[in-house]
Chains A and B, each alone.
Chain A
């Protein structure tokens, strides 16, 4: 244990005493080094491991078990085998509706939101006075995204008497209740999602700053223009961050809940047009007291997202460039 690297004993002390730290690298025997590295890694991961086992894994396994039962929250669970899963795929039309609604939502709103966020991050990165002011302004909607007040605000915009209709009225278009019509309700939620692009924008901004300025300087010596800079420096170096945003936004959008819950009043209406997957799961679990079924839905969702994320990771080999790769 004495041979193990420094981090261990010194967590409370910010700076490792040099002799001790040096000691770990004196013996650069391959085996002991990788072993000491593993030890260090596990120590760095210690809080995460505790959290994983105490708070995350247990409930996950519990929910897996529950998905094979008829658990209702209010009474004991009974084993029902694959019934829940069978019902999901064979009988439940609303399950399929919710998948369709969610897929549309993800496929449309994620690329839109990311494009928006990246575009604004580029505009707001450098070269203009008052950028910090603009950045804050453009972030504001995201602060509001999950607020209860959104239900009203969205109606003020897309309602029959909303501002969109007043604007269209100028062109003689007759009002339409965008939020409450089954054909358009989902689109107002997509706009809501794109509107709250602040989180990926901030991550892009942070990512842009990771790109060494010196690269641009070198490029300008070579006489590269803006577009070429963007294509050959910014974009490639930003790919890990684009990738991160893509993976996370896909996961998050598949789990979207609050927007529909607030705007539709909790039922995914009108006529299930905004019935997000997790909203349906929530309805099943907490309103219809079919927690077993809801747990099954959660695992199906996990598999779907995991598969998509897997595809994302596979694809990333072809377009994501890491600084730590040589």
Chain B
């Protein structure tokens, strides 16, 4: 390629990415713009640029429910943080065993692990609810948090197994020669090389737990326990009068923490082997 044209492709790539980005973000932009419109204009006025701008939806939405919206954000933050820790610890432990250790019936357990991802949760929810109701966990955060510490999100086990399997075995063997046991190999050799997978797990757990309407709606019914996704639904009324303005405004606010977490986490996503300098 002639040197003359070198800068052009870079610029073109930027342009393409920006155009594609705008296209992808149109729905979000529409939501942002609608959240800034007076409520009666949202559906009467289809365009992206609001003719009248107001913060009313934000101030109103923030205080529309029993508690201020910050209260629900806090509830969600607590549950989500615990879920992230739980998944990181429990799933990486299990993944290491599946990826690196030999034990009887390994294939069977692995198949069961995969199988547990495959059953749609709508049918297990009733038996599960019965279990949690029996031990009096309804209206506590335990039905949502404890399963994470018990690695029931098999998705992440599988994810980490796949990552660990891309790591050369020589690493483990080198560690073993240095006298490291399984635990030390796991903590000092495997985990540091799995940072991208761990970051992925943390990010997804955070986002999915933050957005998980179904479980939280079922188990946290007391109006003091509600979390963000459940609180958001209160702006919706299928039979009647939905508060679209506040819904959009609060939806955008609730995107804040997950987007922030993603921004913070994504640098670890891309800081894998490349920076640790694997030979």
Interface positions of A (Cβ within 8 A of B): 5-8, 10-11, 14-16, 18, 20-22, 24-25, 34, 37-38, 40-42, 44-48, 50-52, 54-56, 58-60, 62-63, 66, 73, 123, 125, 128, 130, 132, 134-144, 146-150, 152-154, 156-157, 161, 163, 195, 199, 202-203, 205-207, 209-214, 237, 240-241, 243-244, 247-248, 251, 255, 257, 265, 278, 281-282, 285-286, 291, 294-295, 297-299, 301-302, 305-306, 309, 322-324, 326
Contacts and interface: CB of A to CB of B under 8 A. Distances in A.
Contact of A6 (B10, B106, B182, B278): B182
Nearest to A298: B123
Given A47-B93, A60-B124, A212 B273 contact: yes
Chain B, interface SS category: helix
A309 B118 contact: yes
Given A47-B90, A136-B263, A209 B97 contact: no
30 contacts: A16-B183, A21-B179, A44-B93, A44-B96, A44-B182, A45-B97, A47-B90, A48-B113, A50-B150, A56-B152, A59-B123, A73-B126, A125-B270, A128-B14, A137-B21, A137-B25, A141-B27, A143-B211, A143-B259, A203-B200, A206-B197, A210-B196, A214-B278, A240-B163, A240-B166, A241-B166, A248-B158, A251-B118, A255-B120, A324-B168
Interface string B63-105: 0000000000000000000000000011001101111111110
B122 A140 contact: no
A298 B93 contact: no
Interface in B248-273: 248, 251, 255, 258-259, 262-263, 266-267, 269-273
A55 B147 contact: yes
A46 B150 CA distance: 8
A20 B179 CA distance: 9
Given A48-B94, A60-B116, A149 B262 contact: no
B169 A202 contact: no
B27 A48 contact: no
A41 B211 contact: no
B123 A63 contact: yes
B274 to A, nearest CB: 5
B41 interface: no
Interface residues of B, number: 106
Contacts of A138: 20-21, 24
Interface of B: 10, 13-14, 17, 20-21, 24-28, 30-31, 46, 89-90, 93-94, 96-104, 106, 109, 112-120, 122-128, 131, 147, 149-152, 155, 157-159, 162-169, 176, 179-184, 186-188, 193, 196-197, 199-200, 203-204, 207, 211, 213, 232-233, 236, 238, 244, 247-248, 251, 255, 258-259, 262-263, 266-267, 269-274, 278-279
A96 B86 CA distance: 40
A14 B184 CA distance: 8
A134 B21 CA distance: 8
A144 B150 contact: no
A74 B100 CA distance: 47
Nearest to A213: B274
Contact of A21 (B97, B126, B180): B180
Given A41-B103, A139-B262, A323-B167, A55 B150 contact: yes
B124 A59 contact: yes
Given A240-B162, A244-B159, A248-B155, A48 B150 contact: yes
A141 to B, nearest CB: 6
Given A50-B150, A147-B211, A324-B169, A206 B272 contact: yes
Nearest to B279: A214
The 3 A-B residue pairs with the shortest CB-CB distance, nearest first, are: A51-B150, A7-B183, A6-B181
A125 to B, nearest CB: 8
Contact of A156 (B30, B116, B184): B30
A207 B166 contact: yes
B179 A18 contact: yes
A8 B262 CA distance: 34
Contacts of B122: 257, 278, 281-282, 285-286, 294, 298
B209 to A, nearest CB: 12
B17 A123 contact: yes
Contacts of B90: 47-48, 51
B85 to A, nearest CB: 12
B118 A148 contact: no
Given A209-B273, A209-B274, A301-B118, A143 B258 contact: yes
B182 A140 contact: no
A167 to B, nearest CB: 11
B27 A157 contact: yes
A16 B176 CA distance: 13
Contacts of B103: 37-38, 41-42
A24 B28 CA distance: 56
Contacts of A73: 126
B182 A59 contact: no
Given A153-B31, A309-B118, A209 B272 contact: yes
Contacts of A209: 196, 269-274
